Amino acid sequence: MASVRRYFITGLLIWVPLGITAWVLDALIGAMDQSLLLLPEQWRPEVWLGFRLPGLGVLLTALVIFLTGLLAANLIGQRLLRFWEALLNRIPVVKSIYGSVKQVSDSLLSGSGMAFKKVLLVRYPHPEAWSLAFQTNVPDEVAAKLDAEYVAAFIPTTPSPVNGFYFYVRRDEVIELDISVDTALKYIVSMGMVVPQAKAANYPGD
């Protein structure tokens, strides 16, 4: 029985990652294939191929993104982009959503963005527990109201790091970790099963 159990677990370890990878890719490809619905019906691939070929929407999505970047790189495109953003910024609800999302995407995707600065350990959800966090930026108007030096910490949830909590924490009450943001994200997404090989530094109060 022990051998049967071992072989079964070995099989699971092979098929579970493959199955989840295939499921995620299928979901992404299916979502991007929806871009084909933007084409006139007579131009859609299934009309002139006679059958649906998954993945063609990926090519169309990539082409649209590339052409958008190409257009935005020239003077006329930049003027159109500024006009479009000015228009969106005049719509009350859309202004707040678009502005926030754009700032986050600029930080994460552009080379000039601040993104996450460091990986931290902060005491959360109670003083006897530590959680992984990412250092971001403390707004000047907030820093002016605080009575000590604070850092902004984003604490992501597991296994979905896109959600989380945003706190201001005293600098002398956090631990800076000597690991990369990518490594910390792997640690969070894997729920601790993929452990980053790094040592913590600057332990306060130890």
Per-residue pLDDT tens over the stretch 110-156: 554 456 778 999 999 898 999 999 998 888 888 889 988 999 999 98
Minimal CA–CA distance to 123: which of 135, 110, 114, 132? Answer: 132
Percent of the chain with pLDDT strictly greater than 70: 87
pLDDT, tens digit, 9 for 90 and up, residues 10-68: 888 888 888 888 888 888 888 888 888 878 887 788 777 777 777 888 888 888 888 88
114 assigned to some structural domain: no
Question: Cis peptide before 40, with omega less than 30 degrees from 0?
Answer: no
Q: Quick one: 68 and 141 in the same domain?
A: no
Looking at residue 200, its pLDDT comes to: 42
Minimal CA–CA distance to 162: which of 105, 96, 99? Answer: 105
**Where are the alpha helices (H) located in 89-137, listed in sequence order?**
92-109
Q: Quick one: 146 and 98 in the same domain?
A: no
Q: Are 132 and 141 in contact (CB under 8 A)?
A: no
At 194, phi and psi to the nearest 5?
-110, 105
The CA distances from residue 180 to 90, 101, 105, 117, 187, in Å, are: 39, 24, 19, 9, 11
Final residue in a domain of this structure, among 77, 109, 141: 109
Looking at residue 78, its pLDDT comes to: 83
Give mean pLDDT, residues 88-100. Answer: 82
What's the domain range around 176? 119-201
Q: Quick one: 29 and 52 in the same domain?
A: yes
Mean confidence (pLDDT) of the chain: 81
Q: Quick one: 124 and 62 in the same domain?
A: no
Final residue in a domain of this structure, among 109, 142, 159: 109
- Banded model confidence at residue 83, pLDDT cuts 50, 70, 90: confident
Q: Quick one: 150 and 99 in the same domain?
A: no
Three-point CA angle 97, 149, 110, nearest 5°: 40
Looking at residue 197, its pLDDT comes to: 53
Final residue in a domain of this structure, among 44, 74, 109: 109
- How many domains is the chain built from? 2
